[in-house]
Copies of this chain bind each other. A is one copy, B any other.
Amino acid sequence: MTQISVIGSGAEHEERAEAVGRLLAERGAVVVCGGHGEVMAAAARGAKSAGGTTIGILPGESKSAANPWIDHVIVTGIGHARNLAVVASGDAVIAVGGRWGTLAEIGFARALGRYVVILEPGWELEDVPRADTPEQAVELALSRARAGA
């Protein structure tokens, strides 16, 4: 099954993240995220609205911190280091907004050779492709994921 990681944060990006999650689910991809709120919750909510499957990879030691749209909760207990697992578990990664934690995730994703696309607006980083719309971001991520990145 194709797994796409959706990363990011910021309440102002929730609408775009929800569209990303919905489009991924409509095209049969499982949505992987960090399991918490804002962009993570919106992506999962979008996926569930289209009948998709969601995985949340939490930093803490308890399932209870997962947002209500997570089907399968991974409790890592490793704090911020769970960011590595979030991007490593995706066949490709879509970044929606986000600050320092998202920067760490983009760095890890590329260190591992995962394809990353940044949905406008977001971090400006050389050698990381960008998409103007959720549709374009999903199209890029899925085409690269299914090509084996």
Q: Chain A: residues with CB nearer than 8 A to chain B? A: 1, 3, 30, 53, 55, 57, 61, 63, 71-81, 83-85, 88-89, 91, 99-108, 110-112, 125
Instruction: Tell me how many chains of this kind the complex includes.
Output: 4
Closest CB in chain B relative to A72 CB, distance in Å: 6
The CA of A72 and the CA of B74, in the complex, are separated in Å by: 11
Contact partners of A80 in chain B: CB under 8 A: 61, 77, 84, 108, 111-112
Contact partners of A112 in chain B: CB under 8 A: 61, 77, 80
- A88 partner, pick from B3, B53, B77, B105, beta carbons under 8 A: B77
Q: Are B75 and A78 within 8 A (Cβ)?
A: no
- A77 partner, pick from B55, B74, B79, B106, beta carbons under 8 A: B79
